[in-house]
């Protein structure tokens, strides 16, 4: 809202919101594909960063501190850390966000969520919140201008007042007739859930002024996602076509003054005849394509995209859908998102995707990511600390990518990638053979196309641990030995480091006897006795790196991270020798 004209009234804006805002994690019903209670994919702090400014909060029973839990019916909801979320947590999220972003304003619709809460318990709990945060809430029935409520929470109340805490507070716009009005409403049209006129201070203090406030809601929920679309479109059209009028307000002394009619439009896209996830896939996709949300390119609908559409409260909202709604409030100069910005610096590991890099002082939301402007740039250790031109790519809920104008030059620090050596050919070894030629090391985590091999070092056994290194050309008599990775060789070696030396023991049998077996690895430092069986190091071993995630050199295309198809071994003197490429290739491809 930083770039929105502060003289605009909130009912003149297009505001993204969430239905049952706290339902990202539910205590007994968590799978989005089947859950009847989970309505959101993100926790409230993330929703705030995505641009959500309307929150639907439902209060359940109090804990021992008088702090109501947040519920969806019988289900009590969880925070990201796994603990139950309470009203104090939600207010804490809002306060932190508004302190960091004082140009923003939030709208909070508060309801009694189930019968474990009472009107008295909810009233008392919320009175305590307002007492402890006297400057945080806007509680007038007036529809405020944005400047009046920057840094504040606009309270809309759906719970009835009861108990000793009612007096001494103003309680926001009274929407307690919402449910009854919606149930009694007939016809596919907006339901007038509140119409109020009078004189009231335009805020918590100040002279009383005339006002006229109407609240129209579309909350038809007994339907499927497909049938809900017509209701959502009807509400979009009604909000876009509304023209405020001037009405007469009669004062207590009988005089008449005029006021401009202000009108909230609240459009709920949720329904109950599908589970929330299934319905949202249908309705959210429709919203993306709606001429009231995004410009379709059709000449006859271009005007629709410039009209206000009120509050849209949806399930499974992402950053792209939220942005499509709130960007309608901007002029052309500020059309780009204000919810993400360039980092001062980025930090990544060689071979990872730039989208996985950590950001210094930067912020992204949703599924969007940064990428290199020039995909031919190479992100390797030699380039660490250099500045690269990057741009932000937005990804909507349907997976569609849009390159934004958020771009700039940012230094990128690149750490070497850690490799873990695994030894092969440790079985069947006999004295008098060229043992060095039969043992090879594969490197778990290496990019397949990179030229990088392990330089091996052979070591005498010292009571079950690596002892002194063998001299170059020293022959192998019958007995126990160790092999370990000493260093890395090859053109790409600078991009890697060894996670450990992978020290593994093996047995050399006397000539003419059965071959010895490898005995596994130590802790990587050569200090532990071998514990693993030979099949952990034999040629049949399949490294998890062979099926690892796709790594990325920075152009977004990705290349397979894992083992090289052919394992290469080197002697202590550094002479590289090719291991059995065919066997290894078959193993990797199993």
> Does a structural domain hold residue 4?
no
Lowest mean pLDDT among 239-243, 571-575, 581-585: 571-575
- Return the pLDDT at 165: 86
Distance CA 196, CA 211 (A): 8
Same domain, 168 and 281: yes
> Does a structural domain hold residue 1?
no
Secondary structure percentages of the chain, helix, strand, coil, to 5: 20, 30, 45
CA 409 to chain centre: 25
pLDDT tens readout for residues 420-466: 999 999 999 999 899 999 999 999 999 999 999 999 999 999 999 99
Same domain, 394 and 484: no
DSSP string, 463-509: SSSEEEEPPTT----SEEEEEEEEEEESTTGGGEEES----EEEEEE
Q: Are 106 and 149 in contact (CB under 8 A)?
A: no
Task: Grade residue 31 by pLDDT with cuts at 50, 70 and 90.
Answer: low
> Does a structural domain hold residue 2?
no
Same domain, 176 and 324: yes
pLDDT tens readout for residues 80-108: 888 899 999 999 999 999 999 999 999 99
Tokens of 87: 């009203």
- State the average pLDDT for the chain: 81
Higher pLDDT, 563 or 121: 121
Q: Give CA separation, 586 vs 168, 317, 428, 542, in Å.
A: 78, 45, 21, 10
Same domain, 194 and 84: yes
Same domain, 356 and 463: no
Q: Is the pLDDT of residue 554 over 90?
A: no
Same domain, 392 and 511: no
Same domain, 313 and 433: no
Distance CA 407, CA 401 (A): 15
- Return the pLDDT at 305: 62
pLDDT (average), residues 339-356: 86
pLDDT tens readout for residues 288-329: 878 777 765 555 555 666 678 999 999 998 888 888 888 778
Q: Count of domains in the chain? A: 3
Domain boundary among 279, 310, 334: 334
Q: Give CA separation, 85 vs 27, 32, 93, 114, 417, in Å.
A: 11, 19, 11, 15, 39
Question: Which of 86, 92, 27, 80 has its CA nearest to residue 58?
Answer: 86
Residue 74: exposed, middle, or buried by beta-carbon count in 10 A (0-12, 13-18, 19+)? middle
Same domain, 319 and 212: yes
> Does a structural domain hold residue 5?
no
Same domain, 140 and 245: yes
Q: Give CA separation, 262 vs 150, 215, 216, 242, 245, in Å.
A: 19, 9, 11, 10, 8
- Return the pLDDT at 300: 57
> Does a structural domain hold residue 434?
yes
> Does a structural domain hold residue 358?
yes
Q: Are 530 and 516 in contact (CB under 8 A)?
A: no
Same domain, 312 and 442: no
Residue 520, Ramachandran bin (φ over 0: left; ψ between -120 and 50: alpha; else beta): left
Q: Is the pLDDT of residue 281 over 90?
A: no
Residue 254, Ramachandran bin (φ over 0: left; ψ between -120 and 50: alpha; else beta): left
pLDDT tens readout for residues 190-237: 999 999 998 887 655 567 889 999 999 999 988 998 999 999 999 999
Same domain, 409 and 421: no
pLDDT (average), residues 29-38: 70
Q: Is the pLDDT of residue 336 over 60?
A: no
- Return the pLDDT at 338: 42
| CATH code for the domain in which residue 80 is found | 3.20.20.190
Q: Give CA separation, 243 vs 9, 11, 12, 308, 333, in Å.
A: 14, 11, 10, 11, 26
Distance CA 261, CA 242 (A): 11
Distance CA 424, CA 538 (A): 5
Domain boundary among 334, 355, 370: 334
DSSP string, 43-57: -HHHHHHHT--EEEE
pLDDT tens readout for residues 467-520: 999 998 899 999 999 999 999 999 999 999 999 999 999 999 998 765 566 665
Q: Are 77 and 71 in contact (CB under 8 A)?
A: yes
- Return the pLDDT at 298: 54
Q: DSSP E strands: which ranges in 326-386?
A: 345-349, 358-360, 369-372
Domain boundary among 390, 415, 440: 415
pLDDT (average), residues 521-530: 42
> Does a structural domain hold residue 551?
yes
> Does a structural domain hold residue 583?
yes
- Return the pLDDT at 274: 84
Task: Grade residue 55 by pLDDT with cuts at 50, 70 and 90.
Answer: very high
- The owner of tokens 């003419």 is 512
- Return the pLDDT at 473: 87
Task: Grade residue 32 by pLDDT with cuts at 50, 70 and 90.
Answer: low
Q: Which domain holds residue 288?
A: 10-334
- Return the pLDDT at 339: 53
Same domain, 361 and 259: no
Q: Which residues, at least 6 apart from 266, have a Cβ–Cβ distance to it below 8 Å?
A: 54, 215, 216, 217, 218, 219, 310, 311, 313
Q: Give CA separation, 227 vs 39, 184, 279, 314, in Å.
A: 18, 20, 10, 15
Distance CA 436, CA 359 (A): 45
- Return the pLDDT at 537: 32
């Amino acid at each position: 809202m930083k770039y929105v004209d502060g003289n605009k009234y909130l009912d003149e804006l297009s505001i993204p919101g969430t239905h049952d805002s706290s339902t990202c994690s539910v205590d007994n019903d968590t799978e989005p594909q089947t859950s009847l209670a989970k309505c959101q994919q993100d926790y409230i702090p993330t929703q705030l960063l995505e641009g959500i400014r309307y929150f639907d909060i439902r209060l359940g029973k109090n804990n021992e501190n008088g702090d109501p839990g947040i519920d969806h019916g019988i289900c009590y909801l969880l925070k990201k850390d796994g603990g139950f979320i309470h009203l104090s947590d939600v207010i804490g999220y809002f306060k932190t966000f508004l302190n960091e972003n004082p140009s923003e304003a939030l709208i909070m619709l508060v309801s009694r969520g189930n019968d474990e809460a009472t009107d008295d318990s909810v009233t008392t709990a919320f009175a305590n919140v307002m007492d402890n945060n006297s400057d945080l809430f806007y509680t007038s029935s007036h529809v405020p201008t944005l400047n009046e409520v920057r840094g504040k929470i606009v309270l809309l109340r759906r719970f009835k007042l009861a108990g000793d805490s009612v007096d001494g507070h103003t309680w926001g716009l009274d929407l307690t007739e919402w449910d009854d009005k919606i149930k009694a409403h007939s016809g596919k049209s907006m339901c007038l859930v509140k119409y109020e006129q009078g004189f009231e201070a335009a805020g918590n203090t100040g002279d009383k002024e005339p006002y006229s406030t109407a609240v129209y809601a579309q909350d038809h929920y007994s339907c499927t996602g497909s049938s809900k679309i017509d209701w959502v479109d009807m509400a979009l059209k009604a909000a876009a076509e509304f023209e405020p009028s001037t009405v007469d307000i009669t004062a207590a002394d009988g005089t008449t003054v005029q006021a401009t009619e202000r009108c909230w439009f609240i459009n709920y896209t949720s329904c109950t005849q599908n589970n929330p996830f299934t319905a949202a896939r249908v309705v959210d996709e429709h919203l993306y394509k709606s001429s009231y949300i995004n410009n379709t390119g059709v000449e006859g609908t271009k005007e629709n995209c410039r009209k206000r559409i009120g509050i849209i409260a949806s399930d499974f909202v992402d950053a792209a859908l939220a942005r499509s709604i709130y960007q309608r409030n901007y002029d052309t100069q500020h059309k780009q998102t204000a919810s993400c910005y360039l980092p001062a610096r980025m930090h990544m590991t060689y071979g990872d995707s730039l989208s996985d890099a950590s950001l210094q002082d930067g912020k992204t939301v949703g599924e969007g990511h940064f990428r290199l402007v020039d995909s031919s740039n190479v992100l390797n250790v030699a380039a660490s600390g250099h500045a690269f031109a990057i741009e932000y790519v937005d990804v909507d809920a349907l997976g569609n990518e849009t390159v934004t104008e958020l771009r700039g030059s940012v230094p990128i620090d690149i750490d070497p990638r850690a490799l873990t050596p695994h030894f092969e050919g440790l079985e069947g070894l006999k004295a008098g053979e060229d043992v060095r030629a039969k043992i090879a090391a594969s490197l778990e985590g290496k990019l397949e196309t990179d030229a990088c091999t392990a330089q091996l070092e052979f070591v005498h056994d010292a009571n079950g641990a690596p002892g002194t290194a063998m001299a170059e050309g020293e022959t192998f008599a019958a007995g126990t030995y160790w092999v370990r990775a000493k260093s890395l060789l090859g053109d790409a070696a600078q991009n890697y480091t060894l996670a450990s030396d992978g020290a593994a023991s093996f047995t050399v049998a006397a000539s003419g006897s059965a071959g010895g077996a490898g005995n596994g690895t130590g802790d990587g430092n050569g200090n532990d006795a071998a514990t693993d069986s030979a099949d952990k190091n034999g040629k049949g071993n399949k490294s998890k790196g062979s099926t690892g995630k796709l790594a990325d050199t920075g152009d977004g295309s990705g290349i397979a991270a894992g083992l090289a198809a052919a394992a290469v071994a080197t002697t202590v003197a550094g002479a590289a020798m090719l291991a059995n490429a065919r066997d290894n290739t078959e193993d990797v491809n199993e």
